[in-house]
Structure 1
Amino acid sequence: MKSFRRVLRLSLRRRMSLLGILLSSLVIAALWGANIGTLYPMVEVVFKGDDLPSYVDERLAEARVTVEEQRVELIQLNDELDELQQRAKTAIDADTKASLQQKINTTTFEISSAELAQTATKKSAEWLSWAQPWIDQSAPRGAFPTLVFIVVMLVGGTAIKLVALTINLMLVQYVAEGTVMELREKYFRKSLHLDLDHFGQNGSANLTSRLTNDVAHIAVGVSTLLGRLIREPLKMAVCLFGAATVCWRLLFLVMIVSPLMAFVMQHLSRAIRRASRRAMEEMSSLYGMLNDAFGGIHVVKSFNTQAYERARFRARVQAYFRRSMKVALYNTLARSSSELLGLTMVGLAILAGGYLVINQQTHLLGIRMSARPLDVGQVLLFFGLLIGASDPARKLSDVWTSLQRGIAASNRVYEIIDEPIRVTEPTNPVHLDRPHRSIEFKGVHFQYPSGPMVLRGIDLTIQHGETIALIGPNGCGKSTLINLLCRFDDPHQGEVCFDDVAINRLATRDLRRRIALVNQRTVLFDDTIENNIRYGSPSADAHDVVRAAKLAFADDFIRRKTPDGYQTMLGSGGVRLSGGQMQRIALARAFLREPDILILDEATSQIDIESEQLIHRALETFLENRTGIMITHRASTLAMADRVAVLDLGQVADVGTHHQLLASNSFYRSLCHSDLTDAA
């Protein structure tokens, strides 16, 4: 619930819209009760062949006569009470005194009842006297014209209520969608800053599921809370207030089942919240399974594992189906319970009200229900108002279910938003001039949270303007070293320094502005070629983009082999490019950034010889007076490096030139020969 309150704080920023929701809900509730209230004049006035002015005149005359009769009755009762008190003072016998005391108590009770009845009659007379001029002026004469008048008022009130309802629903939707829009932006902003291992452990499918499925549940929860959870209780309150004006004691009697309803709904709400959270977790697993199957479709088809994937999918879908059915069961139980208890309340009202009207009584089970006997119109109005209150109560059971789902979803979303991040910004960042003089890894140790120690005391210095290659077997820590340099994570021990300043003292944006990274897996976005090259350098113009593309030997194929040149769309809906073409676009993107450090992580491992040669020519030109760091096993790429660092078991095993290591390091020789064999 704490997370959902944080969502509501986002909603509270739209104060004017919330005020509009409240005012329109009040109008809807008032007209809901007023429409039900038309039942009384129909029964007591129209169906008895009377009209409103005549009815008010008759009732006012009856009230004045009744007030006079009650005044006389009170005088007689007070005289009788005085006489009984005098006799009790002079009585000697104990039995006589007890009998007289009992009569005194009875007479006192009758006086209280008569005073109560007189007060009620006087108030009724006062209200009728106040309303009489208005009714005489506006209400028609005759039974049928009065019926027409009531129906017109009913239809007009309903029309106004529907206009208010339309405004209410639109305002609720505006606030709910605006709130989840802010929440999505907040969630996405935090997701982009999460540690890389978080993506490795939970996968983007889990993050996507929370951003889409869970946030959709939150939107429903917010719209439910601001819509029905304000509107329906107000409608119910108006009806209960109307029923209380008819006979508040009778209303209190029939409300005796409400604590039981609250108890049942409280227990069901906890069950709904738990079941909803488990259903959302199953949906996240389903997203992950789909991500694996669609992302690895080449493997699925080539290994003929379609049947296996269908079985996995069926198992996930069935698990989600079972969770969803459990939520549906609790939802049905909540709705059925509220409807049964609501009908029980109305049934009690019918029994109690029917007894009072049929027998013209004011007491039930020895308890006074009203000052004077209720008439048929009053009881029917009481029943109608209770039924009018039971309809919002029934809808509130559905509201409660949606709200519990929203609460469960908000907990899952805020788990990500509140996720602690290991890489934090320095309080007082240090500014370094560009370019740097050297990069130093000083005794660097690193271990992923759910894995073994990857780096065990790395010591390595890279001078500015130097190109160094990193080589080693899989898992030796090459990519981890790059991740630490880009500050995707911080070492557990030791430091990564620029000019003897630890990079955790630099602003992250300042650090990464110096670096351009080209990975083995080229990432192109669903946009034009020009915008893909400009990505990360928004201030670059079209001439800068073309210049970077020419430097990366990409301009020729962009102009000659794509349908719209630099405006050709890439991505899922665009043209397909070869691996070498994609790498050259990625290289142009890095060149446009004008970095001090260019990092190539197996960037040429899966491209053809022609593309590799073009990339090598581009790098020879671009890396002049820049630091180059290459992770590669290709001998042709290693030969470009000024030095090669051999990594093994998380340590620097050897450092030298390509030819020096070929001559002196058998492990390096075996790695290079393995690459040559693979290439052959």
Structure 2
Amino acid sequence: MTTPMNKGPQDGGPGGEVPGGTGPAASGGANGATGSGAADGAAPKIAVSDSQTAAARRGPAGPGRFMGGQGAEKSMDFKGSGKRLLNLLRPERAAIVGVLGLGVLSIGCAVVGPKVLGNATDLIFAGVVGRQAPAGETKAQVLDGLRANGQGGVADMLNSVDFTPGQGMDFGAIGTVLLWVLAIYVASAVFGIVQGRIAANAIQRTVFRMRESVDAKLSRLPLSYFDKQPRGEVLSRVTNDIDNIAQSMQQTTGQVVNSTLTVVGVLAMMFWISPLLALIALISVPASIVVATKVGKRAQPQFVSQWKTTGQLNGHIEEMYTGHALVKVFGRQKESAETFREHNEALYASSFRAQFISGIIQPAMMLIGNLNYVLVAVVGGLRVASGALSIGDVQAFIQYSRQFSQPLTQVASMANLVQSGVASAERVFELLDAPEQSAEPVRPERPAELRGRVAFEDVAFRYDPEKPLIEDLSLKVEPGHTVAIVGPTGAGKTTLVNLLMRFYEVSSGTITLDGVDIAAMTREELRAGIGMVLQDTWLFGGTIAENIAYGADGGATREQIVEAAKAAHVDRFVRTLPDGYDTVIDDEGTGVSAGEKQLITIARAFLAEPSILVLDEATSSVDTRTEVLIQRAMARLRSGRTSFVIAHRLSTIRDADVILVMENGSIVEQGSHDDLIAVGGAYARLYKAQFAEAVAEVD
């Protein structure tokens, strides 16, 4: 495993020495591009990728690294982000109309239920009163008799009761009313279930489209975006934040609709029964709004901090897990654990504050609701005593007062979910709004025949606008030639390949492929004929055969896989494994050595059969004997193809048609190995410093 320690930032910029990017955008090309090639939406044939993780570009991580990605420090635009989140539901207008319609039916039934149930209460009370009243008299005579006996208050109360003196409870009528209540509540439940299903489908489709948008966005982001973002931070936005948005929308959208309809419906019924009691119940609304608003404003920054620190923690964990061997080798477990503790404590503190502050809303709302309930009960009792209301109406009204305060409490208690979801939405929107790579040409060009003639004409490039790296570089490579690029770290070797692959755009000048400016070609067209084998291996969880077949568009037959494996000398060790080509390995290649992993990725390149081959320290992980075998295989692979070889191993460089020596972004020498040695310049100095012992080994 290559880690930040053994391959840090190189070539004078954040791109490092290897042109492969990292991050979830790396979906892979024809043969395994996981870097910017895949991230740019094209499909270069890259046999090995993930060689340039975010950690590798920035160098070793220590305590305090990765304190959030770009944009994480921005203040939360709650209103703007919330509105934008709701706009994502526009394609689901039909479903939303259905949700609203079913909500009206469901809530309508639920609202009518207490009123109908109040009729049953009136029937029961009328039966009790009627049984105690003298038979043979009318209701008016009974009430007059009560007033004559000084019981005017009782008479006023019974005035609103529809009883028949001498007649007890009408169980048939009561049963009919109760059946109606049952039917109403069953209908309300059925409508609610269907409403919930439609709402769930609409929300999940919306989140599905959001994930698609994020995935497409990642493919359009330039490599520089991933250079500046910790990989765990990007992953957190793509996974945790989107999941949190889905959960928040699922738990709040339908509830907000139902709560709003409940408030409207209950309020209408309350005014119908008693405008006075309805006005008393409305006293709680302003108080509820004030509480929810004040507490919500204090809680929102904490939710922003919560999800920002979540991304920081994920970034640290991902980096430490990827480089766990390096952490142990250099004895940095304590520093890693301390950094984890700092991030974990920050997440604990922000999450606690967010949940605690937002959690104040519900008990505060319950207090307001209980006070409102007391007022309604007292005034309602007085109204019954005066005969202005029946007992059944007061019973229904008390139920309505509970129904009225309950949705207000629910909406207020959902503030933490809403704020958390909007905080996550802003993080996702920041990613979606990030500057994209330059657009593809409207009328793309392509070479009439891809032969592999490459020309750099007065090319200039800089990662940092203030720090020039390559200036006025000109180079011509003929088809079928092998060009070796050597030079000290930071000289611009891999940057040259980055520009050829259009992982970065040149600042000035042009690069042509068979006479066509690569800027006039689509990235997919350009990279389709380029294969790369990088120093750092990239394997995915699956069989060895599947990993090799990743290099072929549309898959490959077992015969083709075995042929490529034999060419790359993979077959000899695969057949010693218990399951052969069906041996399952994980994404770290557990079960095979570093050299064997490199051989698998080289076999992947064989299967791709690219027109242009880029080898960046492709044999660095194999022993000398295996390297000799690979060089023979590479010679067959390079036959008839233009090849760019970035290497320090002499066995790779000596066979090249042309050797380019780069220093400070410029080509200072070029020629064959013998010619450059004879000159006694920069190449000869590198040879003496680095390659003399290697020559002795090979010879």
Superposition TM-score, scaled by structure 2 size: 0.78
Runs (5+) with no aligned partner, structure 2: 1-78, 131-137, 141-158
Distance 1:307 1:496, change over 3 A: same
Deviates more, 1:388-397 or 1:530-539: 530-539
Q: Given residue 301 of structure 1, which amino acid in structure 2 is its aligned partner?
A: K
CA shift digits 1:187-238 (9 cap, x unpaired): 1222133222222211221111011111111102221343111122222222
Distance 1:573 1:442, change over 3 A: closer
Tell me the SS of whatever aligns to 1:456. strand
Q: Given residue 30 of structure 1, which amino acid in structure 2 is its aligned partner?
A: G
1:445 alignment partner, one of 460, 482, 496: 460
Q: Is the 8 Å Cα contact of residues 272 and 405 (structure 1) preserved in structure 2? A: no
CA shift digits 1:437-469 (9 cap, x unpaired): 521122222222488433233222111111001
1:208 alignment partner, one of 235, 246, 259: 235
Aligned to 2:105: 27
Pair 1:456 & 2:454 matched? no
Distance in structure 2 (CA, Å) of the matches to 1:553 and 1:242: 82
1:296 alignment partner, one of 323, 339, 347: 323
Deviation, 1:401, is 2.2
Q: Is the 8 Å Cα contact of residues 470 and 644 (structure 1) preserved in structure 2? A: yes
Q: Is the 8 Å Cα contact of residues 114 and 400 (structure 2) preserved in structure 1? A: yes
Q: State the superposition RMSD in angstroms.
A: 3.1
Deviation, 1:179, is 2.2
Distance 1:374 1:478, change over 3 A: same
Aligned to 1:310: 337
Alignment of 1:93-492 (within 5 A): 142-358=169-385, 360=386, 373-436=388-451, 438-449=453-464, 452-492=467-507
Q: Given residue 566 of structure 1, which amino acid in structure 2 is its aligned partner?
A: Y
Deviation, 1:487, is 0.5
Deviates more, 1:196-205 or 1:622-631: 196-205
Deviation, 1:483, is 0.9
Q: Is the 8 Å Cα contact of residues 423 and 487 (structure 1) preserved in structure 2? A: no
Tell me the SS of whatever aligns to 1:49. helix
Distance in structure 2 (CA, Å) of the matches to 1:61 and 1:658: 122
Distance in structure 1 (CA, Å) of the matches to 2:373 and 2:179: 29
Deviation, 1:677, is 6.8
Aligned to 1:551: 567
Aligned to 1:43: 121
Distance in structure 2 (CA, Å) of the matches to 1:145 and 1:449: 88
Deviation, 1:253, is 4.3
Q: Is the 8 Å Cα contact of residues 568 and 574 (structure 1) preserved in structure 2? A: no
Q: Given residue 33 of structure 1, which amino acid in structure 2 is its aligned partner?
A: V
Distance in structure 2 (CA, Å) of the matches to 1:629 and 1:141: 103
CA shift digits 1:620-656 (9 cap, x unpaired): 1121111000110111110111111111111111111
1:513 alignment partner, one of 502, 520, 528: 528
Distance in structure 2 (CA, Å) of the matches to 1:267 and 1:259: 12
Q: Given residue 552 of structure 2, which amino acid in structure 1 is its aligned partner?
A: S
Q: Is the 8 Å Cα contact of residues 218 and 406 (structure 1) preserved in structure 2? A: yes
Deviation, 1:158, is 3.6
Distance 1:672 1:172, change over 3 A: farther
Aligned to 1:135: none
Q: Given residue 314 of structure 1, which amino acid in structure 2 is its aligned partner?
A: R
Tell me the SS of whatever aligns to 2:119. helix
Q: Is the 8 Å Cα contact of residues 633 and 671 (structure 1) preserved in structure 2? A: no
CA shift digits 1:219-267 (9 cap, x unpaired): 0222134311112222222221111111234423441442343243234
Aligned to 1:587: 602
Q: Given residue 171 of structure 1, which amino acid in structure 2 is its aligned partner?
A: I
Distance in structure 2 (CA, Å) of the matches to 1:625 and 1:51: 108
Tell me the SS of whatever aligns to 2:490. coil
Deviates more, 1:183-192 or 1:387-396: 183-192
Q: Given residue 496 of structure 2, which amino acid in structure 1 is its aligned partner?
A: L
Q: Given residue 462 of structure 2, which amino acid in structure 1 is its aligned partner?
A: Q
Distance in structure 1 (CA, Å) of the matches to 2:631 and 2:275: 91
Aligned to 2:615: 600
Q: Is the 8 Å Cα contact of residues 522 and 586 (structure 1) preserved in structure 2? A: yes
Distance in structure 2 (CA, Å) of the matches to 1:490 and 1:662: 34
Aligned to 2:544: 529
Superposition TM-score, scaled by structure 1 size: 0.80
Deviation, 1:661, is 1.6
Deviation, 1:320, is 0.2
Aligned to 2:663: 648
Pairs aligned (count): 589
Distance in structure 2 (CA, Å) of the matches to 1:437 and 1:193: 26
Deviation, 1:44, is 2.2
Deviation, 1:584, is 2.2
Deviation, 1:375, is 3.7
CA shift digits 1:580-631 (9 cap, x unpaired): 2222221222222221110001111222112211210111112111100011
Runs (5+) with no aligned partner, structure 1: 53-59, 63-120, 129-139, 361-371
Distance in structure 2 (CA, Å) of the matches to 1:572 and 1:207: 19
Distance in structure 2 (CA, Å) of the matches to 1:340 and 1:443: 75
Deviates more, 1:225-234 or 1:630-639: 225-234
Tell me the SS of whatever aligns to 1:625. coil
Aligned to 1:89: none
Q: Is the 8 Å Cα contact of residues 444 and 457 (structure 1) preserved in structure 2? A: yes
Distance 1:347 1:293, change over 3 A: same
Distance in structure 2 (CA, Å) of the matches to 1:574 and 1:37: 69
Deviation, 1:355, is 4.5
Tell me the SS of whatever aligns to 1:473. coil
Pair 1:498 & 2:576 matched? no
Distance in structure 2 (CA, Å) of the matches to 1:398 and 1:255: 19
Tell me the SS of whatever aligns to 2:540. coil
Deviation, 1:160, is 3.8
Q: Is the 8 Å Cα contact of residues 280 and 372 (structure 2) preserved in structure 1? A: no
Pair 1:564 & 2:572 matched? no
Distance in structure 2 (CA, Å) of the matches to 1:197 and 1:576: 34
Distance in structure 2 (CA, Å) of the matches to 1:340 and 1:407: 28
CA shift digits 1:99-144 (9 cap, x unpaired): xxxxxxxxxxxxxxxxxxxxxx9xx9xxx9xxxxxxxxxxx99444
Distance 1:13 1:422, change over 3 A: closer
Distance 1:491 1:455, change over 3 A: same
Tell me the SS of whatever aligns to 2:469. strand
Distance 1:222 1:51, change over 3 A: farther
Aligned to 1:104: none
Q: Given residue 302 of structure 1, which amino acid in structure 2 is its aligned partner?
A: V
Q: Is the 8 Å Cα contact of residues 28 and 235 (structure 1) preserved in structure 2? A: no
